[in-house]
Amino acid sequence: MNQRNPAISKGVDWSLVWIWFILCSIGITSIFAASWHEGDNILQGFISLKTDYSRQLLFFIIAGIVGTFILLTDSKFFTATANLGYAFGIFLLLLVFPFHSRVKGTESIIRFGSAFQLQPADLCKLFVNLALAKYLSRVETNFTRPRSQLIATVIALVPAMLSIMQKETGLALVYFSFFLVMFREGLPPSVLIIGFSFAVLVVATLLMDPNTLALVLTGIALLAIYVLRRVVKRNRAVLFLIVGIWFVCVGVQRFVVPFVFDHVFQPYQVKRIYDAIGKDYVPKDQAAEAALESAEQKTGAKKKDNNYNVKQSKIAIGSGGLIGKGLLKGTQTRYDFVPEQKTDFIFCTIGEGFGFTGSIIFLGIYVLLLMRIVSIAERQRSVFSRAYAYGVASVFFFHIIINVCMTIGLAPVIGIPLPFVSYGGTSLLTFSIMIFILVRLDADRQMVLR
Amino acid sequence: MSVFNQSRSNIIRLIFAGMFLIIAAQLFHLQIISKKYKQQAQENALYRKSVYPTRGIIYDRKGRAILNNTILYDLMVTPAQVKNIDTAYFCQLVNIDTAEFRSRVLDARIKNGPFRPTIFEDLLPPDMYARLEENLWKFPGFNLQERPVRVYPFDAAAHIMGYVGEVDSAILRRSNNYYQLGDYVGRSGLEQYYEKELMGQRGTEFWIKDNKNRLVGRYQDKALDTPAIAGKNLNTYMDIELQQLAERLLSGKTGAVVCIDPKTGGVLAMASGPTYDPNSLTGPDKQSNYARLALDVSGPLLNRAIKGQYPPGSTYKPLGALIGLDEGVITPASGIDCRGFYYGCGEVRRCDEKTPGHAANLRLAIAHSCNSFFYNAFRLEVDDPVFHSPRIGLMKWKEYVNAFGLGHRLGVDLPSEDGGNIPDTTAYDKDYHRSWNSCTMVTIGIGQDKMQETPLQIANAMCIVANKGFYYTPHFVKNIEASAEDDTLLSRFHEKHTAVSHISEEDYETVQSGMQGVTEIGTGQIARIPGINMCAKTGTAENKTVVDGKVLKLRTHSIFACFAPRENPRIAVAVIIENGGYGRDAAAPIASLLVEKYLNDTIATDRLHIEDEMTNKNTMPGYLVRRQYKTDSVRAADWARQSGDSTRWIKYQIPSFRYMMLDTSYNSKSPIYLSLHKAPLYKSALAERLARIRAQAAAQQQTIDSSRPNHTPDTSGAPPKPQPASRPRPVDTAIKKSPPRAPVKEDSIHKDSTR
């Protein structure tokens, strides 16, 4: 179909490819800085495939090759296989249950042999992104209708549910980023506002004394009635609405949150949330305490607790100062004070080595990436490409924000990687494929894909 | 639809930008504003390692090291590396059980973490070190680390050298945190007094450590490190052989010996009995050894030479004579008719010397130590009509005595010296409600009453008499190596004290000839050394102590003070043997031997039997048994009350045990008695000397034998007849003089060595 396009480079947005290349290079350098020890042979280290940075380099090359293949592919291929891919992704997620291997206490990884392992929950966001874009771009879909919105939500959240069942809450949360796509495509803003308010309410519940919070909520409700007293006089329904909202809020605060924390979440997850907001978690009963201990034994044989991780991470980043200590000079990251620093806490290496200046430049590259993707999305003619682009931007955004906030103590410790930088083959490949599909779709932006 | 929602792309852009702004703000806070993270990062990764310089060495006058440094080894453990070892065998090597092993490894893990070496057993004894070093390859995770330790090569001068110990909180506070917890500082003796010089300057190294507390490298390429500067060595006036002899002669006795060079004030030897092995406070058992010494009621840690305060007894008399002569109340020709009693103060006072005419003049009075004469002389000094009042007279007397270096600290370079006591009018006003006269304290004239002196002061007073009017503050350190010549620390020792130089030279001559009479015609003839004019004064001081609330009148202290030779004084000696009887019984022979040793560099063979006799003399008072028993039982009771474990205490309840412990009869089995009366560890000096002379003679014989065959080869088989004639003469006389004694001594050697 594409015989009229002689060169694959036609229409390709090279800025994205360059950003991808730069970020991957920063990633490999950071992993190198975090794991290289004095006296190691650098060249041998890069060739041997025994070190983490050499493996990351290998995955980077593989990602480049895969990217080239994607650029050679017809963009219609992606619309055509979107639903199939989604089914495949769900299949992989289900496959985890019988074939999972226990790594770091999570049950979400399938191992092939000793070297290669796959985390479907990570990979699946690519398929969800494609499937969601496909659904939104269907001619029959009228996204103003609640039914369509519901279906889109289901498409996005089924893998999230499966991830939660595999005890990968962090990866599950990523799927909520697709609400940004839906918002762009017409989801009422009230959904986002309600969601945000709900999150605020939950955090407030954890932070404040229940009775005080109930009083505050009542106060807000009474204030709202007083301010809207003329409206209320004209329309009784508004009064009922306010009372209803108040009732729901108090209910959530009084019953739902405690219930969810005690019965739905794992004690270690609750602890992480408490750690993030800076409160001590006291297990409710002995069973919860025992579960917490066993989880800590499984996951934290080497890490003392998440508080320790965050503290060390903050020390590492904070000690970087304005310009940092320089590459390979950071004492905190060089000598393993920060746990998990090649994967989830890779940002520490940059923060300590290059300081505030380096961190801002690094984050600036991400901002450039996201803004570029959004502007690319807006120039698409087809809804599929645009929805897909927004999906990529949302997923990236979510990963970056949660990961960086986690390292600087603004978010709970959720084990999700920093795109292109964190060590990990699956995540690097997934993110690279996502970006190259976007580049491919963008190259064909004149076409209308369905 | 897309057109409809176009504006939402800006909202999404806003959300993106907003979140990144929040992150940027937090980064700004962490990296730019907050300083605590930089500090915490340093705490995390920086390790300040103190580098200790070697302490200075202390030498004696001939350049022999009395206090040196050596290397002992600490056994270190790195808990994480301890895997698959033969624990039972290891425990056998280190002399512990497996439970102890586990608890020590656990302690190490808690203290420094599993990856950092921690001390498992410190200061290994040499035999354990040898056993471990051979087998250490079998025990991964264990290694030996060098540790410099103080060593006393001569096992002598414990009180003078002092010892080092860990700093306590008081020292930490005083030093303005110069010292750190765990540092060693001098805790007594020269180690404490010259701490600043001996210690040197501590260096600091900055290391980087990793998350497992392992040291991985130097911080900033040693840019901040400071090197350690070794401590300065001290050269002293001490003569270690003299010191050893003094300690040997003090064994089994309570008392003190001080030898001073009158010309410089340099202390040649200073011993205090009972003493302790200084090396016992440096090695592996220093803690328990110290506890044992501290609880010993005979006070082995006490330096009696500067802390013991004794009535000087008759050794004061030469000073009394000098004061009388200077005030003009007596003349060299003054005499008194003494028949063994003094009637001057209404009551009869006994005098040991009864021969008529023994106090016909001052020289004879000193030589025979006539009490009556010096009662009289003291009364004349106090009641001198020039003063119109005994109050002024007494204060004038005190002025004289203080000028002789009594009644105040001399300022020797040792910590915590005592000043003795010279009573003044206030003391008697208090006791006698201001109604007293010269008779009240007449015994001051013979060095009793409230008068108290330290052995150092007695020796120093001898220096003044020897020097005819001046003295230098007694001190040990001649110079400090690598230090400016006019070191402020030592300058005060080069200052001549001339407070009593107004007493005329004739007066000194008179008193000196009296003192020479002591060793020639008087009370101290036993101290006489052939060929040396020695001036001396014996002393016998009454003393009492309180045991179980009862005042106990004890055997008198034996005191002897002397200097020699008279013409060119080179040594002044003071010896006090508590409960030693008369001055001539114990103190005089000891002082005499010391003088001979110093002046002649050796003791004549015919006087060595005195050395052995003095070494084996035991004057430990019996009340110490009772006092030690009381201390031990009180301690056992305290322990029982604190811990509830009465096993130690219960035996003190048994009457038979109590009887056994308190038994001080000749064949007592009380361990306290036995430890006080244990035979000295020394071999007989005489037997050794004889053995050496015999060996020399035998060697000489051999050379004669081997040379003879050249001249007369026929008589080689016959026993060599002229052998006795070829022996050196001194041996002959020695053997003749003490034929029955030598074999007995040799027996006692065997006993000692088998014990």
The pLDDT of residue A401: 92
The pLDDT of residue A295: 63
Provide the H-helix boundaries in A145-256. Answer: 146-165, 169-174, 178-184, 189-207, 210-227, 229-234, 236-251
* Contact check, Cβ <8 Å, B45/A332: yes
Task: Calculate how close chain B gets to A366, using CA atoms only, in Å.
Answer: 9
Residues on chain B touching A319 (C-beta within 8 angstroms): 37-38, 40-42
- Cα–Cα separations (whole angstroms), residue A190 to A179, A186, A223: 12, 11, 21
Pair A247, A221: CB distance under 8 Å: no
- Please give the average per-residue pLDDT across B642-650, as a whole number: 83
Task: Calculate how close chain A gets to B218, using CA atoms only, in Å.
Answer: 12
Distance CA B546, CA B623 (A): 9
Q: Given B6, B8, B38, which is nearest A319 (Cβ)?
A: B38
In this predicted structure, the answer to whether residue A236 has a pLDDT above a threshold of 50 is yes
A 307-326 → B contacts, CB under 8 A: 312, 314-322
- Please give the average per-residue pLDDT across B674-696, as a whole number: 88
- Chain A residue with minimum CA distance to B29: A318
The pLDDT of residue B720: 45
DSSP 8-state code for residue B738: S
- Of the residues B7, B31, B215, the best mutation for testing chain A's interface (the one with the most A CB atoms within 10 Å of its CB) is B31
Q: Given B6, B24, B41, which is nearest A363 (Cβ)?
A: B24
A 365-384 → B contacts, CB under 8 A: 366-367, 370-371, 374, 377-378, 383
* Contact check, Cβ <8 Å, B15/A319: no
Residues on chain A touching B80 (C-beta within 8 angstroms): none
From A326-330, B25-29, B33-37, the region with the lowest mean pLDDT: A326-330
In this predicted structure, the answer to whether residue A248 has a pLDDT above a threshold of 50 is yes
Pair B552, B543: CB distance under 8 Å: no
Count CB atoms within 10 A of the CB of residue A429: 20
Q: What are the residues facing B564 on neighbouring strands? A: B571
The pLDDT of residue A259: 81
Residues on chain B touching A401 (C-beta within 8 angstroms): 19-20, 23
State the residue for tokens 């088989």: B717
* Token pair belonging to B332: 């060299």
Percent of chain B with pLDDT over 70: 92
Task: Calculate how close chain A gets to B267, using CA atoms only, in Å.
Answer: 57
pLDDT confidence tier of residue A43, bands split at 50, 70 and 90? confident
Half-sphere exposure of A412 (CA within 13 A, CB side): 15
- Cα–Cα separations (whole angstroms), residue B226 to A298, A420, B50: 46, 45, 10
- Chain A residue with minimum CA distance to B28: A356
The topology under which CATH files domain B49-235 is Penicillin-binding protein 2a (Domain 2) (3.90.1310)
The pLDDT of residue B749: 40
Q: Per CATH, the architecture of B306-616 is what?
A: 3-Layer(aba) Sandwich (3.40)
The pLDDT of residue B321: 94
Residues on chain B touching A141 (C-beta within 8 angstroms): none
Mean pLDDT, chain B, whole residue set: 85
In this predicted structure, the answer to whether residue A37 has a pLDDT above a threshold of 80 is no
Domain ranges for chain A, please list them: 14-191+303-443
Q: Given B12, B38, B46, which is nearest A184 (Cβ)?
A: B12
Q: How far is CA B193 from the centre of its chain?
A: 13
A 147-206 → B contacts, CB under 8 A: 180, 183-186
Closest CA to B563 of B552, B554, B574, B555: B574
- Of the residues B11, B15, B23, the best mutation for testing chain A's interface (the one with the most A CB atoms within 10 Å of its CB) is B23
Give B176 or B628, the one with higher predicted confidence: B628
* Token pair belonging to B328: 């003009």
Mean pLDDT, chain A, whole residue set: 83
* Token pair belonging to A225: 């009635």
Q: What are the residues facing B257 on neighbouring strands? A: B271, B575
Provide the H-helix boundaries in B217-358. Answer: 240-250, 286-295, 304-307, 317-327
Give A185 or B209, the one with higher predicted confidence: A185
The predicted complex's ipTM stands at: 0.86
Pair A295, A271: CB distance under 8 Å: no
Distance CA B301, CA B298 (A): 9
In this predicted structure, the answer to whether residue B728 has a pLDDT above a threshold of 70 is no
Q: Given B27, B42, B208, which is nearest A408 (Cβ)?
A: B27
The pLDDT of residue B710: 56
Q: Given B1, B9, B19, which is nearest A374 (Cβ)?
A: B9
Pair B465, B318: CB distance under 8 Å: yes
* Contact check, Cβ <8 Å, B41/A319: yes
In this predicted structure, the answer to whether residue B725 has a pLDDT above a threshold of 70 is no
Residue-wise DSSP of A382-406: SHHHHHHHHHHHHHHHHHHHHHHHH
Closest CA to B250 of B743, B617, B695, B702: B617
* Contact check, Cβ <8 Å, B37/A386: no
The pLDDT of residue B741: 41
The enclosing H or E element of B557 equals: strand B550-564
Show the 3-state SS of B678-733. Answer: CCCCCCCHHHHHHHHHHHHHHHHHHHHHHHHHHHCHHHHCCCCCCHHHHCCHHHHH
Residues on chain A touching B38 (C-beta within 8 angstroms): 318-319, 321
In this predicted structure, the answer to whether residue B465 has a pLDDT above a threshold of 90 is yes
* Contact check, Cβ <8 Å, A320/B4: no
- Of the residues B5, B9, B37, B115, the best mutation for testing chain A's interface (the one with the most A CB atoms within 10 Å of its CB) is B37
Q: Given B12, B26, B41, which is nearest A331 (Cβ)?
A: B41
Closest CA to B408 of B416, B419, B418: B419
Residues on chain B touching A184 (C-beta within 8 angstroms): 5, 8-9, 12
- Of the residues B11, B16, B43, the best mutation for testing chain A's interface (the one with the most A CB atoms within 10 Å of its CB) is B16
Interface residues of chain B, partner chain A, Cβ below 8 Å: 1-2, 4-6, 8-9, 11-13, 15-17, 19-20, 22-24, 26-28, 30-32, 34, 36-38, 40-42, 44-46, 208-212, 216-217
pLDDT confidence tier of residue B139, bands split at 50, 70 and 90? confident
From A137-146, B72-81, B210-219, the region with the lowest mean pLDDT: B210-219
In this predicted structure, the answer to whether residue A114 has a pLDDT above a threshold of 80 is no
- Cα–Cα separations (whole angstroms), residue B84 to B81, B90, B212: 9, 12, 22
- Chain B residue with minimum CA distance to A355: B31
A 327-346 → B contacts, CB under 8 A: 331-332, 335-337
Residue type, B665: S
Distance CA A144, CA A136 (A): 11
In this predicted structure, the answer to whether residue B721 has a pLDDT above a threshold of 50 is no
- How many CB pairs (< 8 A) connect A and B? 122
Count CB atoms within 10 A of the CB of residue A149: 19
- Of the residues A337, A392, A406, the best mutation for testing chain B's interface (the one with the most B CB atoms within 10 Å of its CB) is A337
Give A85 or B704, the one with higher predicted confidence: A85
Residues on chain B touching A350 (C-beta within 8 angstroms): none
pLDDT confidence tier of residue B144, bands split at 50, 70 and 90? confident
Pair B37, A314: CB distance under 8 Å: yes
pLDDT in tens, B221-280: 777 788 888 889 999 999 999 999 999 999 889 999 999 999 999 999 999 989 999 999
* Contact check, Cβ <8 Å, A332/B44: yes
* Token pair belonging to B746: 């040799």
The pLDDT of residue B736: 40
* Contact check, Cβ <8 Å, B210/A336: yes
In this predicted structure, the answer to whether residue A415 has a pLDDT above a threshold of 60 is yes
Domain ranges for chain B, please list them: 49-235, 306-616, 623-676, 685-754
Pair B613, B297: CB distance under 8 Å: no
Q: Which residues contact A40 (CB under 8 A, 6 or more apart)?
A: A51
State the residue for tokens 């002992």: B72
pLDDT in tens, B572-605: 999 999 999 998 999 999 999 999 999 999 999 9
The pLDDT of residue B452: 92
- Please give the average per-residue pLDDT across A329-341, as a whole number: 78
Distance CA A172, CA A122 (A): 9
Residues on chain A touching B217 (C-beta within 8 angstroms): 38
The contacts found for B163-170 with CB under 8 angstroms, 24 or more apart, are B163/B187, B163/B188, B163/B189, B163/B191, B163/B278, B163/B281, B163/B282, B164/B55, B164/B191, B164/B282, B165/B281
Give B649 or A305, the one with higher predicted confidence: B649
Closest CA to B553 of B563, B545, B561: B545
A 387-416 → B contacts, CB under 8 A: 390, 393, 397, 401, 404-405, 408-410
Residue B653: burial class (beta carbons within 10 Å; 0-12, 13-18, 19+): exposed
Residue A44: burial class (beta carbons within 10 Å; 0-12, 13-18, 19+): exposed
- Please give the average per-residue pLDDT across B56-60, as a whole number: 93
Query: What is the pTM for the complete model shown?
Result: 0.68
Q: Which residues contact B710 (CB under 8 A, 6 or more apart)?
A: none
Please tell me if residue A268 touches chain B, with a CB cutoff of 8 Å: no
* Contact check, Cβ <8 Å, B16/A374: yes
Give A68 or A254, the one with higher predicted confidence: A68
- Cα–Cα separations (whole angstroms), residue A233 to A226, A228, A240, B10: 11, 9, 12, 38
In this predicted structure, the answer to whether residue B181 has a pLDDT above a threshold of 70 is yes
From A34-43, A192-201, A243-252, A405-414, the region with the lowest mean pLDDT: A34-43
* Contact check, Cβ <8 Å, A317/B30: yes
Q: How far is CA B332 from the centre of its chain?
A: 41
The pLDDT of residue A370: 95
